[in-house]
Copies of this chain bind each other. A is one copy, B any other.
Amino acid sequence: MFAASGVLAARDRDLDLLGVIVVAAITAIGGGTLRDILLNRHPIFWVTDPWYLVVIVASAILTVAYVRVGSPPSATFLVADALGLALFALSGAQLAEAAQCPPLIVVLMGTMTGVTGGVLRDIVTAKVPLILCREIYATAAIVGIAAYLALHALGMPKAPAVGTGMIVVVALRLLAIRLGLNLPIIRKG
C-alpha cells in the first residue's frame, strides 16, 4: 500500500522507472527500518528476507502499469494509505512494547513507524513533508495507538485491542479528509 502511495507521489516528478521503484521502496520500508535501528533489532526485517523487496518492486510496477492504463480513483488510494498507516503504526507499537519501552515511547515509536516512510518520500522528492502541514495524519496514529494501549490496560485481550486501535486510525484519518479537519495551524503573531 505504501509502495503504491510512493509511486503516486513520484509521478509528478518525471522520475524514471527505477527512480519510481526506489521512492516506492523508501516509502514502504523506511518506517520499519528506522524502528529496527532505534530499537537495535538486528537483522533489520528486510535484510535477511528478500520477499519484502520482491513484493515492493512488484507493487510498484503494478501501480505504474495501473496509472498508465487509467487514472486511479483517488478514494481507493486514500483508503489504502489509511490502512497502511494503521497497520504500520500498530505493528510498530507492539514491537516497542515487546522491547519494554514505556507507554509514551510506545506511542512515539508506533507513530514513527507509520509516518516515517511518507516523510522520507516527501524529503526525497523535495517537498515539505505533508504530515507536517495540514491533515490529521500522525494524530490519527497517535490516537489509535493510545486507544489500543488504554483498552489493553483495561483488560481487553490483545487481538481485539489492536483491531480497535487500527479501526480508530483508519476512521479518524478518513473522517479528517472527508470533513476537512485540521489541528490549529501555528502562524506568526
Contact = CB atoms under 8 A, between A and B. Distances in A.
Nearest to A182: B16
A189 interface: yes
Interface string A44-79: 101111100110000000001001101100000000
A157 interface: no
Interface stretch (A87-95, A97-105, A165-173): A97-105
A131 B44 CA distance: 25
A159 interface: no
A127 B49 CA distance: 33
A186 B17 CA distance: 6
Contacts of A16: 132-134, 182-186
A80 interface: no
A123 interface: yes
A164 interface: no
A138 interface: yes
Contact of A67 (B43, B71, B186): B186
A169 B16 CA distance: 18
A113 interface: no
What 8 A-B pairs are tightest by C-beta distance, nearest first? A19-B132, A16-B183, A50-B104, A40-B42, A50-B102, A126-B128, A17-B183, A20-B186
18 contacts: A10-B132, A13-B128, A14-B187, A15-B186, A16-B184, A18-B142, A18-B183, A19-B186, A33-B38, A38-B47, A47-B99, A47-B101, A47-B105, A48-B100, A50-B103, A53-B105, A125-B132, A126-B127
Interface of A: 7, 10-20, 22-23, 33, 37-40, 42-44, 46-50, 53-54, 64, 67-68, 70-71, 99-105, 108-109, 119, 123-129, 131-134, 138-139, 142, 182-189
